Chains A and B, each alone.
Chain A
Amino acid sequence: MRADKGGGRRGGTALSEVAGPDQTAPAMGQTLLVVVAILVFSLFALNQHRARAGAEISAMGREIELAATELANARLLAATSLAFDEGVIGLTGFTVDPAVLTPPGSFGAGNDPDEDENTPADDVDDFHGVTTTVTVQRNDQTGRDIRFTVTYSVRYVLPDAPATPSPGNNPTLAKEVTVNVVEEVDSDLGRTPVTCTLSQVVTPAWNALHG
């Protein structure tokens, strides 16, 4: 028994020599758990942050979409409020003769007779090909501006099928005015730039009545 005890003591000594690494193992495990916990939590926090940023970007995008739509609508109304064509300005009533209308090659600012690039637009097709940059102020505050590029295009369409362009782009009694508004984004916001395109078909009679 003594021998056993002695052996036990010896064994105890031996055990104590082995106990060192046995006590370090739980500490290592604890450290690993802490590291894993911090890692998992960091991922969770980053995900939360990304979700919040996504929600905010989405809200901003909706506001910018509203601004783009209003800008496109306002510009479309402004363009279609003018005369249907240079050839009908000053005319009493409205024309039914496409021959008096401007050929598509003369669309654009300053291309009508007695007009130059500085002449204010006075008919619908004067806007064709025009590109401008517009700044919309938000919330009455500087630094919240949104910049848009506005592009106009005008083409003749078939009066009885307004979605169909005129064959050969020959003059007809219907013009389709399209306003395209694209947000100018300086940096990568994690979303595509807001775009809005609005079109309206006008006729000489429509412009005479409502323009």
Chain B
Amino acid sequence: MAAILDHLTAILVGASLLGVLLFVQHRSGQAAVEATVHQAAQTQAFSIMESIERDADNMRLIEGARPQVAQSEGRTTRLTFHTLDDPSDGENASVVAVTYRLESTYRTMTVDGQERTIYRIARYVNDGVDDDGDGSLYDYTGGSTEGVLSFDARLISRDGTTAISNGDAPDDFSRVSVNLAVAIEGPARVAGDQAATATTNVSQQGRTFRPLTLTTVSDAGPDPIPDPSAPLPPLPSPPPTP
């Protein structure tokens, strides 16, 4: 007892330092997690953007069927255009209609201290054949993770004076601009200073594509051009209420 009393100050200070040390260590580990989460968010955004880039770079204009974009509540809900199914086939590559659709995940995520609704972007391809037998000519061919915060696509005219965010591409259509933000679930907030670091779980990326082979293809060829307006598979249903 006497020994404890003799070293009371040292014990108190030591215990305090140990406690703070553990906290600092915990925050240090969390910082590493946040850095990884940011990297993951960037990778996810890159992934879906690369898919859009590949399709946009091989875009084809079809007589009577211009690229279309639909918008709701400030977000692009659908981006549709014709592209090559497999560009590596060269001149034999078939033309398909591709649609990127923003779909609700019925979930929210905390980003920058705010609860935000998250979506996903799904890619559907219409090659004229119902491959998966769901009754829709559009077949699901992949998409983003469930963490898309915003999706904004615009069809821009050559002189840049017209940027369509809801409707058909302008007459002198030249470029596609796509902006999206992807978030990944970050570590739980355990300290006051984390509010400043919470933005690291989101990555925002924008690209502008100028298809270099934006030639108009006639629909009078031997193979029919898939209809871009064909109905898409139904949207995901909300989860059952517990």
Contact A139 to B111, CB < 8 A, known contacts A37-B17, A74-B177, A81-B174? yes
> Does A120 have its Cβ within 8 Å of any Cβ on chain B?
yes
Report yes or no: B17 in contact with A120, Cβ–Cβ below 8 A.
Answer: no
B175's partner among A41, A77, A144 (CB-CB below 8 A) is A77
Distance in angstroms between the alpha carbons of A73 and B210 in the assembled complex: 10
Report yes or no: A120 in contact with B206, Cβ–Cβ below 8 A.
Answer: no
Report yes or no: A37 in contact with B13, Cβ–Cβ below 8 A.
Answer: yes
**Chain A residues, CB < 8 A from B7:** 30
Distance in angstroms between the alpha carbons of A120 and B162 in the assembled complex: 13
> Does B241 have its Cβ within 8 Å of any Cβ on chain A?
no
Report yes or no: A37 in contact with B159, Cβ–Cβ below 8 A.
Answer: no
Contact A55 to B31, CB < 8 A, known contacts A73-B207, A77-B208, A140-B149? yes
Q: Smallest CB–CB gap between B149 and chain A, Å?
A: 7
A210's partner among B10, B13, B202, B212 (CB-CB below 8 A) is B212
B74 — nearest CB in chain A belongs to which residue? A140
> Does A115 have its Cβ within 8 Å of any Cβ on chain B?
no
> Does B42 have its Cβ within 8 Å of any Cβ on chain A?
yes
Distance in angstroms between the alpha carbons of A120 and B20 in the assembled complex: 62
Kindly supply a per-residue 1/0 record for chain A positions 35-46, scoring 1 wherever the CB is within 8 Å of any chain B CB and 0 otherwise.
001100100110
Q: Smallest CB–CB gap between A32 and chain B, Å?
A: 11
| Residues in A74-99 with C-beta less than 8 Å from chain B | 74, 77-78, 81-82
> Does A185 have its Cβ within 8 Å of any Cβ on chain B?
no
A30's partner among B9, B202, B207 (CB-CB below 8 A) is B9
Report yes or no: A210 in contact with B210, Cβ–Cβ below 8 A.
Answer: yes
Q: How many residues of B contact A (CB 8 A)?
A: 43
| Residues in B141-181 with C-beta less than 8 Å from chain A | 149-150, 156, 158-161, 174-175, 177, 181
> Does B82 have its Cβ within 8 Å of any Cβ on chain A?
no
Q: How many residues of A contact B (CB 8 A)?
A: 37
> Does B231 have its Cβ within 8 Å of any Cβ on chain A?
no
Report yes or no: A41 in contact with B20, Cβ–Cβ below 8 A.
Answer: yes
Distance in angstroms between the alpha carbons of A211 and B157 in the assembled complex: 11
> Does B204 have its Cβ within 8 Å of any Cβ on chain A?
yes
Contact A74 to B31, CB < 8 A, known contacts A81-B175, A211-B158? no
A-B CB contact pairs (8 Å), 17 listed: A34-B9, A44-B24, A51-B28, A55-B31, A56-B200, A59-B35, A60-B200, A62-B42, A66-B42, A66-B203, A66-B204, A66-B206, A77-B210, A81-B210, A138-B204, A140-B149, A141-B112
Residues in A lying within 8 Å of B, measured CB to CB? 30-31, 33-34, 37-38, 41, 44-45, 48, 51-52, 55-56, 59-60, 62-63, 66-67, 70-71, 73-74, 77-78, 81-82, 120, 122, 138-141, 144, 210-211
Could you list 12 further interchain pairs (A-B, Cβ under 8 angstroms) beyond the known A74-B208, A78-B156?
A: A33-B10, A45-B24, A55-B34, A56-B196, A56-B197, A59-B38, A59-B200, A66-B206, A77-B175, A78-B175, A120-B159, A139-B202
